[in-house]
Amino acid sequence: MAQQKLSMILFLGIFLLIQSTYEFEINVRYTDDPTLQVFRIESYVDESVLIRVVKDIGGDCSEQMLRIRIVHPNGTITPMDISLSIPDFNYCLRDFGGKVEKEYGIHVYSSIPGFLLVTYLNTTDVTASPAVFGLIINWQGEILS
């Protein structure tokens, strides 16, 4: 009986130790403009990191500028501030299709290293077809399609 209790305590101790090793906190401060906030972080297969930052302008909306920071494995950062010709509502938090949380219409995804995929809505009527459009942008900030 005592052997079972000791085994159970040891098991729980190891389980809690392993579980706690995956907890962490990220604090990011962008010194060029303290009003910018990190919105999303994604990684690439080459260990580069895509960071989307936004500037809140109030009323559940962000500045109408796509701000991307690519952090390369060697620590250098490639900043991209791109003005896109897309509908303004993509930069505001909205309820698109009855989801639980509001979200922006514009989304940025890491694809293959050197490129990112940007999707946005062309209409607030998500049942319309086609409602979602996409852009491929290289790390130099050039819109390729």
Give the structural domain span for 102: 29-138
Q: Is 9 within a domain?
A: no
> Which ranges of the chain have pLDDT less than 50?
17, 19-26
Would residue 143 count as lying in a domain? no
Per-residue model confidence as pLDDT tens digits over 96-121: 666 667 888 899 999 899 999 999 98
pLDDT digits (tens, 9 = 90+) for 87-96: 998 998 887 6
Contact 132, 90 (CB under 8 A): no
Can you tell me the distance from the alpha carbon of 39 to that of 53, in angstroms, rounded to the nearest whole number? Answer: 5
Domain assignment present for residue 4? The answer is: no
Residue 62 included in any domain: yes
In a domain, residue 70? The reply is: yes
User: Which backbone phi and psi does 24 adopt, to 5 degrees?
Assistant: -155, 165
The verdict on residue 132 lying in a domain is yes
The pTM (predicted TM-score) of the whole model is 0.71
Tokens, residue 106: 């514009």
Domain assignment of residue 15, yes or no: no
Instruction: Answer yes or no: is 96 within a domain.
Output: yes
